[in-house]
A and B are shown apart, each in its own frame.
Chain A
Amino acid sequence: MNLLTKIVKPRLAFSQTKEAKKFFKTESFSSFLNNKKILLSTTNSNLSAEKKLINRISTSNYVAKLDLRNFQQKPDQSSKNSLWYILSGFVFMIGASYAAVPLFKIFCESQGIDINTEFREMGIEELKKKLSSLKKVENRLVTVKFVASTSADLLWKFEPCQEEITVAPGETALAFFKAKNMTNRSIIGIATYSILPFDAGLYFNKIQCFCFEEQRLDPNEEVDMPVFFYIDEQYTEDPKLEYVDNICLSYTFFESKGADDIQNLQKLVQQKV
């Protein structure tokens, strides 16, 4: 008997007993019961049903009792569920607002957007005014190291004239690079630079240099290229840069085909259009 009650106590969630009864009236289930000669009776039986029950007990082998209380959902359960959902949504929102701070920082760094410096972009006039009011900061010296490199197909000898230079923030400084064209044809080069570490690079301002503009070198010509720069005075006030005393400024030269080539390209583009 215990086995059979297990069989007829399926783990189905019916919201109401009517649905449970409907299920157990389906053909497949009733044929199963008939085959096994199991009589299904419910706890909510009335008199007429009981009579039918007595008649059928003699023909059936087993009597199984279906406890419909298993299929009744407690009436206040659904409101409790929604309460839990609302509470968990609330907690999730609080957690998301805390998590947003580092996530936003990572997003900005990957896109190269720096919120702090974007609004601080000064115009040329302001920068020139600032230059005239530059003041040297005492008690802090920064060593700027120089690295020079060329792209593989550029046959220039490009090197810094000094390995490093010790400079104080707020003071302008001059540095030199030497470049020699080792070939027998005139080459036009264009340079770019990078500063490490990244945080220090935000304070590094170049007044004048030789980057981003085409520089033509005749065959076997050697020139000195100066870089005139200064480090912003607020370098000393940045907590991230408290122990950063070394900055590396690295220049790289690439070959450029020159402005004539750009004109040819423009003609080609116009022809196609």
Chain B
Amino acid sequence: MSSMTFGQKIFQPKPPIQGSFPLDHEGECKRPMLEYMLCMQREKNDSSKCRSQAKEYLNCRMNNNLMDKRDLSSFGYNDEENQDQSEEKKST
């Protein structure tokens, strides 16, 4: 059967850029994860609305040695702070 794939594109998986997440056996970051999932259910799986919760989860991972410590702005989260500040300014 595999010989009939002539002309079909073969998918080659790429390794992740930063490697693999170590498993969270103790469930230390379960709470931020649940908050993120609740946000997703609220916003109907729109990821751009739940970025702060995602940031919380990544912070939790970093604090508990489950992820390499890295400046979150390198993940494109620096706009987040600007957006929060501008929203706060508008509300006040």
User: A residues within 8 Å of B by Cβ?
Assistant: 106, 109-112, 124, 127-128, 131-132, 134-136, 161-168, 170-174, 176, 192-195, 198, 201, 205-213, 215-218, 221, 223-226, 228, 230
User: Chain A contacts of B75 at CB under 8 A?
Assistant: 131-132, 134, 172, 207, 228
User: B residues within 8 Å of A by Cβ?
Assistant: 5-21, 23-25, 27, 29-30, 33, 36-37, 40, 44-48, 54, 57-58, 61, 67, 73-77, 79
Which residue of chain A has the shortest Cβ distance to B40 in the bound complex? A162
CA–CA, A205 to B30, complex, Å? 25
B19 touches A208 (CB 8 A): yes
CA–CA, A155 to B37, complex, Å? 26
User: Chain B contacts of A174 at CB under 8 A?
Assistant: 36, 47, 54, 57-58
Interface residues of B: mostly helix, strand, loop or mixed?
loop
User: Chain A contacts of B11 at CB under 8 A?
Assistant: 194-195, 198, 201
User: Chain B contacts of A106 at CB under 8 A?
Assistant: 6-7
User: Chain B contacts of A109 at CB under 8 A?
Assistant: 7-10
B23 touches A131 (CB 8 A): no
Given A112-B12, A163-B45, A176-B37, also A225-B21 (CB < 8 A) = yes
Given A112-B10, A162-B40, also A208-B33 (CB < 8 A) = no
| Nearest chain B CB to A267 CB, angstrom units | 27
CA–CA, A201 to B30, complex, Å? 30
Given A109-B8, A162-B40, A193-B13, also A210-B20 (CB < 8 A) = yes
Given A166-B45, A174-B36, A221-B25, also A110-B17 (CB < 8 A) = no
CA–CA, A134 to B45, complex, Å? 21
CA–CA, A162 to B76, complex, Å? 23
B16 touches A134 (CB 8 A): no
A171 touches B48 (CB 8 A): yes
B57 touches A171 (CB 8 A): no
User: Chain B contacts of A218 at CB under 8 A?
Assistant: 25
CA–CA, A161 to B50, complex, Å? 15
